[in-house]
């Protein structure tokens, strides 16, 4: 047996939307595993299926086949409270993911009520402290705080149930680079403090490389390539698709831009 | 040679119920037939600068400037009738997201043809022909087929090419592109920039590219204005971005993660209140 312990194990995941002529195979035969405390990144362009993988694991999508195992237990298609507590999600747009008519306090209390947790006041204080916000935030509404603070609230809401896994769907792409740096630093230190396992989706190669140990590049529902961050940094990906994505992620170059092809 | 566009001490102030908000505070620049970048974070006033040039500021906005001149025309005091001849025809604007800027119930080809007919006295048939040629110019493979499509049927990259075709068809002197590629995938983003690059080179236009992406803009433009809190912090010649002096520019450059430069924690931008002073 290997010394490493698996946290998330995904085997032959397929997600299909629609029927007949309008059938779309969003995810095709995706297999990967993530160890406890590891960070795994999914990158790809829009429509590549990266967010759909995340949504299947969170069971926000029901049309999947294959097996998803969390810490040794296979997931069913229905969301259950026990797994929901262990696995929380942070969404891309903090403007859309927080209820506009709920105060920060309401937003943080709701998961505690659903999961019938004790010491609610203390947990709200702790969660705010964890994400670097003061308790004076408690009675503000989302429109009264900045985008970066909103994303901190979204992270606090995910952490308040003391999960082991965070599913991060483009957590910083709606933010300015300066705010992105603060949120990425926060996510890194939270991971160390709470021994969290991260599955992160992003279109930004540099962000994923900064956060993750291993990366899978997705194209049209499939894994084009799985590689370590070092391999990505040393620019030695073997797949043409990954190389093109890499060259498009840097500075503008007229000749490079003209050389792009589409990968079927 | 006198510049195409000359702006001196541009200010945009919005009256709100909490008192006036100064979005742009004393911006000055000249634009020739070149690619000028305006870079800044959200709320830095970069988009408001672009909008003020075309008198497109919101109703509660007040625009003042010592000078705002385009080809001998005073843009500050031009009557609405004259502005209509300038907007689109001589200075046009490309917006961020084609999903919101195209009319959802008109075929994209007809929208391009309409842009041509408004500014010329061309017949319907001529305008259609020109629109088809324009679709070809922006490298759409099957112009005849795409002409007949509605906005929801085209991809983001194709929608942005349609927008560019629409803005270019009256052959303007200046294009203001406000985050034209931020909603697009990286490869499509590069292709759309290459297209804008070609248009500016071949037709000798002036381009103002507004973006939050400092590295991208510096690699694309000739000159970059870096804005913070409504003011220009620094003007950088592209290619000398790495020699930027201002601590704000340096801070922005440092806090973005880079593939070639791994680091455990990212440096955080420290804002100096003195940057707000005029």
Secondary structure (DSSP) of B179-220: STTTTS-HHHHHHHHHHHHHHHHHHT-EEEEEES-HHHHHHH
Distances (CA, A) of B30 to A61, A200, B178: 53, 44, 18
Q: Which of helix, strand or coil describes residue B162?
A: helix
User: Maximum CA pair distance of chain A?
Assistant: 61
pLDDT at A229: 93
Asked if B256 reaches chain A (Cβ–Cβ under 8 Å), the answer is: yes
SS percent in chain A: helix, strand, coil, step 5:
40, 25, 35
pLDDT at B1: 59
pLDDT digit string (tens) for B179-222? Answer: 988 878 888 889 889 988 988 888 889 999 999 999 889 899 99
* Residues with Cβ within 8 Å of residue B132, at least 6 apart in sequence: B109, B143, B144, B147
The residue with greater pLDDT, A11 or A234, is A11
**Which residue in the set B186, B212, B251 is minimally distant from A248, CB to CB?**
B186
Mean pLDDT score, A107-122: 95
Task: Look up the ipTM and state it.
Answer: 0.85
Packing angle, helices B186-203 and B156-168, rounded to 10: 10
Residue with tokens 């939270």: A190
A32 to chain B, minimum CA–CA distance in Å? Answer: 23
Instruction: Note whether A14 and A27 are within 8 A (CB).
Output: yes
pLDDT above 80 (res A1): no
pLDDT at A2: 46
Cα separation, A164 vs A161, in Å, equals: 9
Pairing outcome for strands B223-228 and B35-39: parallel
**Which residue in the set A188, A189, A245 is minimally distant from B187, CB to CB?**
A245
Which of A166, A155, A153, A154 shows the shortest CA–CA distance to A57?
A166
Q: Do B268 and A209 touch (CB under 8 A)?
A: no
Contacts of A253 in chain B (CB under 8 A): 190, 219
pLDDT-based confidence at B246, cuts 50/70/90? very high
Mean pLDDT of chain A: 92
Strand partners, B65: none
The 8-class DSSP code of residue B160 comes to H
Mean pLDDT score, B89-118: 91
pLDDT above 50 (res B138): yes
Cα separation, A209 vs A184, in Å, equals: 12
**Which residue in the set A207, A244, A251 is minimally distant from B219, CB to CB?**
A251
Q: Angle A61-A66-A71 (CA atoms, 0-180°, nearest 5)?
A: 85
Question: Structure pTM?
Answer: 0.89
Mean pLDDT score, A33-52: 93
**Which residue in the set A176, A182, A185 is minimally distant from B42, CB to CB?**
A176
B231 to chain A, minimum CA–CA distance in Å? Answer: 18
- The separation between the first and the last C-alpha atoms of chain B, rounded to the nearest angstrom, is 30
CB atoms within 10 A of CB A22: 7
Interface test with B, best of A181, A219, A231 (most B CBs within 10 A): A181
pLDDT above 70 (res A264): no
Long-range contacts of B271-276 (CB under 8 A, 24+ apart): B272/B247, B272/B248, B275/B228, B275/B229, B275/B231, B275/B233, B275/B248, B276/B229, B276/B231
pLDDT-based confidence at A162, cuts 50/70/90? very high
CB pairs under 8 A between A and B: 96
* Residues with Cβ within 8 Å of residue A25, at least 6 apart in sequence: A14, A15, A16, A221
Contacts of B41 in chain A (CB under 8 A): 176-178
């Amino acid at each position: 047996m290997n010394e490493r312990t698996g946290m998330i194990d995904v085997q032959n995941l397929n997600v299909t939307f629609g029927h007949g002529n309008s059938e779309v195979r969003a995810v095709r035969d995706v297999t990967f595993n993530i160890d406890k405390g590891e960070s795994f990144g999914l990158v790809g362009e829009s429509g590549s299926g990266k967010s759909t993988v995340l949504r299947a694991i969170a069971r926000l999508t029901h049309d999947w086949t294959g097996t998803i195992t969390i810490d040794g237990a296979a997931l069913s298609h229905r969301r259950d409270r026990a797994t929901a507590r262990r696995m929380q999600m942070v969404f891309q747009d903090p403007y859309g993911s927080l209820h506009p008519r709920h105060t920060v306090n309401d937003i943080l209390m709701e998961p505690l009520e659903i999961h019938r947790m004790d010491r609610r006041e203390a947990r709200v204080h702790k969660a705010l402290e964890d994400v670097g916000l003061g308790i004076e935030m408690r009675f503000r509404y989302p429109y009264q705080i900045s985008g970066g603070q909103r994303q901190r609230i979204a992270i606090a809401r995910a952490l308040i149930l003391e999960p082991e896994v965070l599913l991060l769907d483009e957590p910083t792409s709606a933010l300015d680079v300066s705010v992105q740096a603060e949120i990425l630093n926060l996510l890194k230190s939270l991971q160390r403090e709470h021994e969290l396992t991260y599955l992160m989706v992003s279109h930004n190669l540099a962000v994923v490389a900064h956060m993750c140990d291993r990366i899978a590049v997705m194209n049209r529902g499939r894994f084009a390539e799985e590689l370590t961050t070092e391999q990505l940094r040393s620019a030695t990906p073997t797949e043409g698709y990954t190389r093109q994505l890499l060259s498009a992620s840097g500075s503008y170059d007229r000749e490079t831009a003209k050389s792009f092809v589409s990968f079927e | 040679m006198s510049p195409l566009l000359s702006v001196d001490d541009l200010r945009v102030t919005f009256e709100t119920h909490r008192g006036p908000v100064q979005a742009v505070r004393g911006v000055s620049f000249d634009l020739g037939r070149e690619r000028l970048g305006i870079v800044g974070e959200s709320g830095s006033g970069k988009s408001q600068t672009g909008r003020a040039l075309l008198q497109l500021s919101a109703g509660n906005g007040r625009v003042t400037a010592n000078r705002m001149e385009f080809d001998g025309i005073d843009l500050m005091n031009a009557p609405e009738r004259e502005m209509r001849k300038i907007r689109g025809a001589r200075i046009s604007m490309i917006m961020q997201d084609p999903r919101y800027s195209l009319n959802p119930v008109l075929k994209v080809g007809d929208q391009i043809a309409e842009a041509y007919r408004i500014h010329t006295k061309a017949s319907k048939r001529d305008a259609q022909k020109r629109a088809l040629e324009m679709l070809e110019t922006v490298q759409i493979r099957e112009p005849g087929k795409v002409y007949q499509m509605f906005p929801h049927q085209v991809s983001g990259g194709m929608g942005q090419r349609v927008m560019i075709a629409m803005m270019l068809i009256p052959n303007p002197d200046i294009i203001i592109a406000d985050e034209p590629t931020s909603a697009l995938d990286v490869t499509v983003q590069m292709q759309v920039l290459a297209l804008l690059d070609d248009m500016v080179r071949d037709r000798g236009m002036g381009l103002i590219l507004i973006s939050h992406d400092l590295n991208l803009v510096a690699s694309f433009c000739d000159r970059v204005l870096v804005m913070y809190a409504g003011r220009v912090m620094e003007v950088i010649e592209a290619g000398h971005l790495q020699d930027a002096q201002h601590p704000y520019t340096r801070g922005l450059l440092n806090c973005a993660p880079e593939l070639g430069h791994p680091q455990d924690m990212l440096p955080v931008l420290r804002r100096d209140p003195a940057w707000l002073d005029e």
